[in-house]
Structure 1
Amino acid sequence: MSDPAATTPPFRLHPAAAWALVGAQFVFLLLLGFLPWGALWSRGVGTIVLGLALVALGVGIALAAGAGLGRTLTPSPIPKADGQLVTSGVFALVRHPIYSGLLVLGLGLVVIGASVLHLIAWVALLSVLMAKSRFEERMLADQYPDYAAYAARVGRLVPKVGRIRT
């Protein structure tokens, strides 16, 4: 009798669902940039500087991660068939540093925007990126035998937070 797990086909996210997640991510990022400002807190010079610093940090993290992926980079959560598992650079700190960078960027826009709508859009962005990362990880685990060990030692979006227990 054969092992049923050995015959289970690898998980594949439908391309339309993958691109819907990408689209939702960009919609929430655009909303964060263009929603009307609120008055949840004072938007003085210090607040604007903090917000811009977070935006710059988020962009820097995302760009470093994109450069680290090289030709493996794709906006879709579906990994490239000929890609490589990258575990060095910012990927040694978190498994999804592009998503981390987008969340830090978005947090900067929340600080500047100071509205409930900004907070809601950021939480929605977090939800989309969490879903996207979970689907992506299932496919990465199927594609790369070393992924489980990597996920056990490296956090999902924040260093040491969200490691997958094997």
Structure 2
Amino acid sequence: MSITFENIMTMAISSSVTMLFAAIVMDFMLFEKKGGVKKEKRSIVATGTMTLFYLVYFIVIWTRIGAIDVQGTTAVRALRMTGTILVALGSAMNILGRISLKGNWADHVRIYKDQTLVETGLYGIVRHPLYSSLMVMMYGGSLAYLNWASALLTTFVFIPFMYYRAKQEEIFLMQEFERYANYSKRVGMFFPKFWR
């Protein structure tokens, strides 16, 4: 049995998504029942609703709704490989962001009594690397599977939801840390500020 381009792409994407889900499960096991909560707000945008989005996204790709049917030219393979690399990169970014965040992670909007403001690593590049990394993964998947419908879902459903969630978190962080206002001026929300 020969290994095809399609097999390699599927293995890379499946491995990346599996590692990300393992990291999410680990965060739940380590931090969801963590005590010392100072402030908390339940959010409609949490792991459950994000998982629902992923299921819809997966169904769109799996059923090929919005798939662009083109032959496997070198340019098409390059696009699909770029998408696969973006999925893997996004997964790695998310896992690294979780490692930096440590015990500050929560499924809902929460400030702990021992909360710290993380400004290093990926958090020195973007304020919400977990959300940014998921966007990279979603667009990467759309490119890997040449699917315009999944790209539209990401643009018009996923990103607005992430923006809403990030703004909720930032209200708490602004109240908790005096230097957060300066941090948010220096560092972009989802994308790096190249024009400082």
Instruction: Report the TM-score range of the alignment, normalised by the length of the smaller protein.
Output: 0.7 to 0.9
User: 1:84: which partner in 2?
Assistant: 116
CA contact (8 A) 1:33 1:109 kept: no
**Residue 129 (structure 1) aligned to one of 133, 148, 162:** 162
* Equivalent position amino acid for 2:45 in 1: L
**Per-residue deviation at 1:31?**
2.3
1:155 counterpart SS class: coil
Q: Deviations over 1:80-118 (max 9, x none)?
A: 342211001110000000000000001111113333431
User: 1:39: which partner in 2?
Assistant: 67
User: 2:89: which partner in 1?
Assistant: 57
Cα distance in 2 between the residues matched to 1:95 and 1:73: 14
Cα distance in 2 between the residues matched to 1:41 and 1:47: 13
Please give the TM-score of this superposition, normalised by the length of structure 1.
Answer: 0.79
* Equivalent position amino acid for 1:132 in 2: R
Aligned length: 148
Moved more, 32-41 or 60-69: 32-41
Unpaired segments of 5 or more residues in structure 2?
A: 1-38
1:113 paired to 2:145:
yes
Identity %: 26
* Equivalent position amino acid for 2:115 in 1: G
RMSD: 2.2
**Per-residue deviation at 1:13?**
6.6
**Per-residue deviation at 1:34?**
2.9
Unpaired segments of 5 or more residues in structure 1?
A: 1-11
Cα distance in 1 between the residues matched to 2:71 and 2:153: 19
Cα distance in 1 between the residues matched to 2:127 and 2:185: 10
